[in-house]
Amino acid sequence: MLDYFFTPRSVAVLGASNDPLKLGYEVFKNLKEYKGKVYPVNIKDEVVQGVKAYKNVKDIPDEVDLAVIVVPKRFVKQSLIDCGEKGVKGVIIITAGFGEMGEEGKKEERELVEIAHKYGMRIIGPNCVGVMDTHSNLNATFIMNAKKGSVAFISQSGALGAGIVYKTIKEDIGFSKFISVGNMSDVDFADLMEYLAEDENSKAIALYIEGIKDGRRFMEVAKRVSKKKPIIALKAGKSESGARAASSHTGSLAGSYAIYEAAFKQSGILVANTIDEMLSMARAFTQPLPKGKRVAIMTNAGGPGVLTADEIDKRGLKLANLEEETMQKLRSFLPPMAAVKNPVDMIASARGEEYYKTAKLLLEDENVDMLIAICVVPTFAGMTPTEHAEGVIRAVKEVTNGKPVLALFMAGYVSEKAKELLEKEEIPTYERPEDVGVAAYALAEFAKSKGVVKE
């Protein structure tokens, strides 16, 4: 239903510019990469960035599905009317200076929504960074492309959203869509959750929330959508000081965090406490759901195994009690110093072959619902973490009983290539015990809500 925001046949940029210091320059530059048709609208210039420009959106000799408005504030209203007369379906208003400015701005914003609805249009924004779809290659924002992936990310703070897009470009997490909702004058979290529930490219929905206006509808939709697809929410303004700051920032009433948290839980939403928790949980859902809460940990060093066991415990998951047979088989090829009890410590000498055999045995063990494969930097000369990653991947391909596997590769850039390999196989790979812990928790919790895991 909101398809025209993500896969429009054609896009017009009102305020497309030749001046690199203007947002309209970046927006049009980004949109030129889109596979659909893109039209610059500029009141003065006849050509924008090498493309024939139109004085008015109505002059475009083609249907326009999506319009991006990035003109100065005083021209926004007329631009929107022009879009309506043109028959545009979706409008992204990047321009700021509306609801976030106080009562007068709120009134102007309501007027924009009335105009839009009169013409049957929907608005994302105003005061937003825009919208990205990494699968259709649409970047209707003024920021860099997000890394492609499976998480739909909706942010109520444009700058924070942008910061997260930038931060993750070099991390093992990608987005299907990034939607900066700005003031949420029209299209809001509920609309987007509803839409994303049906989006095949999005395996999970991550929300950064500062304040919600229509709590009842939000909950009603979240309850429905979270039965199909995991929703993870990070709410800013937990503390009193934070809430006060949030309220002055977005103008929306932050409300007590306790109320939000209860509402999230009632709606089947997974609650994140930090940005990294939100991202760690969301990207776990490339994996199948576990049938229970029993986790097996394999590692080439004791310390990280212990730290991960701590996190598993903290999150209410359990260390699996391995079958006698599994332990005997592990004992048969692991060195005497190895620990064959869960967490299985294969010790530093473990190579790709040990990773493969151990992962396979653990996945085949009936007491194991989920596997976490840890690799700290191999300390022996001549080894690289890539062979460890390959061992895990080989086991995952051979054992097809649908158990989720998460990886924890803990040596910064030294394990970059290994992480790329795992990522290619859609095995979520983390760098910190707490991140993999919360990811395992998210899988089990969502499985529980779907009745896959019985408490």
Q: Does 414 bind a second copy (CB under 8 A)?
A: yes
Among 431, 443, 444, 445, binds a second copy (CB under 8 A): 431
Q: Which backbone phi and psi does 47 adopt, to 5 degrees?
A: -135, 135
Taking the CA atoms of residue 93, residue 97, residue 100 and residue 102 in that order, the dihedral angle to the nearest 10 degrees is -140
Residue 25 binding a second copy, by CB under 8 A: yes
> Could you tell me the smallest distance in angstroms from the CB atom of residue 277 to a second copy?
9
- Closest distance between a second copy and the C-beta of residue 423, in Å? 17
- 288 or 302: whose CB is closer to a second copy? 302
Q: Between 198 and 313, whose beta carbon lies closer to a second copy? A: 313
Positions in 127-156 near a second copy (CB under 8 A) = 129, 142-144, 155-156
Q: Tell me which residues in 240-259 interact with a second copy (CB under 8 A).
A: 240-242, 244-246, 248-250
> Please, which residue, 8 or 125, has the CB nearer to a second copy?
125
Best CA proximity match to 320, nearest among 300, 343, 296: 296
Part of the chain binding a second copy (CB under 8 A), chosen from 31-39, 62-70, 407-415, 419-427:
407-415
Closest by CA to 40, choosing from 253, 51, 214, 30, is: 51
Instruction: Please say which residue, 249 or 417, places its beta carbon nearer to a second copy.
Output: 249
**C-alpha distance across the termini of the chain, in Å:** 37
303-332 mask for a second copy (x: CB under 8 A)?
A: xxxxx-xx-xxx---xx-------------
Task: Indicate whether 81 belongs to the interface with a second copy (CB under 8 A).
Answer: no
Strands (E) across 98-241 are located at 122-124, 130-133, 138-141, 148-155, 175-180, 204-209, 231-235
Examine residue 337 and tell whether it contacts a second copy (CB under 8 A): yes
As a whole number of angstroms, the distance between CA 440 and CA 317 comes to 8
Cβ closer to a second copy: 23 or 443?
23
With CB under 8 A as the contact rule, the residue among 52, 170, 397, 454 that binds a second copy is: 170
Q: How far is the CB of 257 from a second copy (least distance, A)?
A: 9
Considering only 3, 45, 111, 171, the residue that binds a second copy (CB under 8 A) is 171
Q: 3-state DSSP call for residue 340?
A: coil
Location of structure tokens 């919600």: 212
CB 151 within 8 A of CB 75: no
Q: In the bound complex, what is the minimum distance in angstroms from residue 267's beta carbon to a second copy?
A: 22
- To a second copy, the closest distance from the beta carbon of 43 in angstroms equals 20
> Which is it for the CA torsion 168, 173, 174, 175, positive or negative?
negative
Residue among 298, 310, 287, 289 at smallest CA distance from 389:
298
Nearer to a second copy, 113 or 275 (CB): 275
Q: Which of 318, 317, 316, 365 is nearest to 340 (CA)?
A: 365
Q: How far is the CB of 309 from a second copy (least distance, A)?
A: 4
The burial of 217, by beta-carbon neighbours within 10 Å (0-12 exposed, 13-18 middle, 19 or more buried), is given as: middle
